[in-house]
Chain A
Amino acid sequence: MGWCGALGDRTGRKLSSLSALRNLHMLDRQKSDGSISDRDLMVQVAAGDRRAFEQLARRHAAAILRLTRAVTGQAATAEDALQQTLLSVYQSASAFRAESSVRTWMLTIARNAAYRIRAKSDRQSLVEERLMELGLGAGWGSGDPETIALAAERKDTLLRALSTLSVQDQEALILRDIEGLQASEAAALLGIGERALKSRLHRARLRLAAALRRESEMSASAQEGPQL
């Protein structure tokens, strides 16, 4: 059996092959459920349709809140940023030029709003760690690399690990892996080049893997209980 074959983890379960994951990862998650498109809704919002605006807001509020929470770090300020975003969208709907998707446009407004709320002096500095150090932290070369996949299967653990990362890491993961934006869209939204985005995303994924290992270790320690 070659590298494509399934390899059992310590629990006896099978993890999918990397090539299968590679294809699964690229599946287009855009749904075509027959509901009205974002662009059509925008036309109606621009014409003053309040119900269309409510529908657009409900459709994208969760994605906006995920991003603004990552930037501001607080639920309350994230909601403030969401409100500012919705207000901007409502007031400038007629200015939407369809140069990007409606979702990307709204996320761009949301990110700007969140950064305005967050004091610029509070921005975290980007510390460039060597890739091999990041890999080792993520379990590369360890005896139990499956730990990160198993921990990631638990949604609460995954979200907790994600929340421990820097804003820049969370933004890259949210835009590319959770919201599924194209690399070019995410790079434009973040104001960086595609090459820089790819590098940031890879490092963010490795840091997420390391955070998942930490979460897994803490969970195991908690289950063992205090040493008497």
Chain B
Amino acid sequence: MNEKTVAGLQCSEVLALLSEYLDHELDSAMVERVEGHLLGCPNCERFGRSFGSMVVSLRRDSIASESVDSELVMRLLTQIDRLTTEA
């Protein structure tokens, strides 16, 4: 990786800031610097975009909304009923 300094930031600094950039945790001045770097550094821009796509994929509904086997829940609830009755 050839380190470049663009918009006052080195590539390694942008790498360190990528998650905070994605998560809207940087102040506006730093967002401007990161975006300025990305504008002038195709390597960081390509990696950042792929990294961001990966994070969005984790958030897709198909993972978060996966349901648990209904029989498992019923079995556990039955066991809990037994445990709380015995107590």
Contacts and interface: CB of A to CB of B under 8 A. Distances in A.
Contacts of B73: 54, 57-58, 61
Contact of A25 (B43, B56, B68): B56
Contacts of A145: 43, 46-47, 49-51
A205 interface: yes
B72 A79 contact: yes
Contacts of A53: 77
Nearest to B58: A177
Interface size class of A (residues with CB under 8 A): 35 or more
B27 interface: no
Contacts, number: 174
Interface string B73-87: 100110111011000
Contacts of B48: 18
Q: Chain A at the B interface: mostly helix, strand, loop or mixed? A: helix
Contact of A7 (B49, B51, B68, B77): B49
B47 A139 contact: yes
Nearest to A85: B76
A149 B19 contact: no
Interface in A69-99: 79, 82-83, 86-87, 90-91
B17 to A, nearest CB: 9
Given A90-B80, A140-B15, A202-B19, A21 B55 contact: yes
A136 interface: yes
Contacts of A139: 47, 50
13 contacts: A18-B45, A22-B21, A25-B22, A54-B73, A61-B73, A145-B43, A152-B54, A178-B59, A179-B64, A198-B19, A202-B18, A202-B20, A205-B19
Given A18-B22, A26-B23, A131-B15, 4 more contacts: A25-B52, A50-B81, A131-B12, A145-B50
Interface of A: 2-3, 7, 15-19, 21-22, 24-26, 29, 50, 53-54, 57-58, 61-63, 65-66, 79, 82-83, 86-87, 90-91, 131-132, 135-136, 138-142, 145-149, 152-153, 155, 158-159, 173, 177-180, 183, 198, 201-202, 205-206, 208-209, 212
